[in-house]
Amino acid sequence: MTSQPPDPGVYISPAQTYAEVQRLARTVDQIDGKLDRLLEDNRQIKADQSELETRIRALELGETERQRRDETRLAALETRRWPLQTVGAVTGVAGAVTAAVALFVR
């Protein structure tokens, strides 16, 4: 039986190891920069979302300046409208008075 020579393995020189570590460091720096930009974008999106939620809540509750102004204007218009029930009552009374006058004049 003959024995096989031992496998010499792979030899990586210190210069190759250093070059690979340098390349990995640059890659990690690029990833770190991209993560920082993503985190900043995420903060901006959350701020925008918070602002929009505040505006939507104000609209739902009727707390905007325009809604307050419209409510005031609508209330003023409602107080000035001519109520139809009053018109009906006045017309009925006027008809009854006219009929009574016509009845007694004959």
Radius of gyration of the chain (CA): 44
Residue-level pLDDT at 2: 67
* pLDDT tens for the chain, residues 1 to 106: 567 777 777 888 999 999 999 999 999 999 999 999 999 999 999 999 999 999 999 888 888 889 899 999 999 888 877 677 888 889 999 999 999 998 888 6
Residue-level pLDDT at 45: 97
Residue-level pLDDT at 28: 97
Residue whose token pair is 């029930």: 85
Residue-level pLDDT at 9: 79
Residue-level pLDDT at 21: 97
Residue whose token pair is 């609209």: 59
DSSP three-state, residue 45: helix
- Indicate yes or no: pTM above 0.85: no
- Three-state SS string over 12-39 comes to CCHHHHHHHHHHHHHHHHHHHHHHHHHH
Nearest to 95 by CA among 103, 84, 85, 83: 103
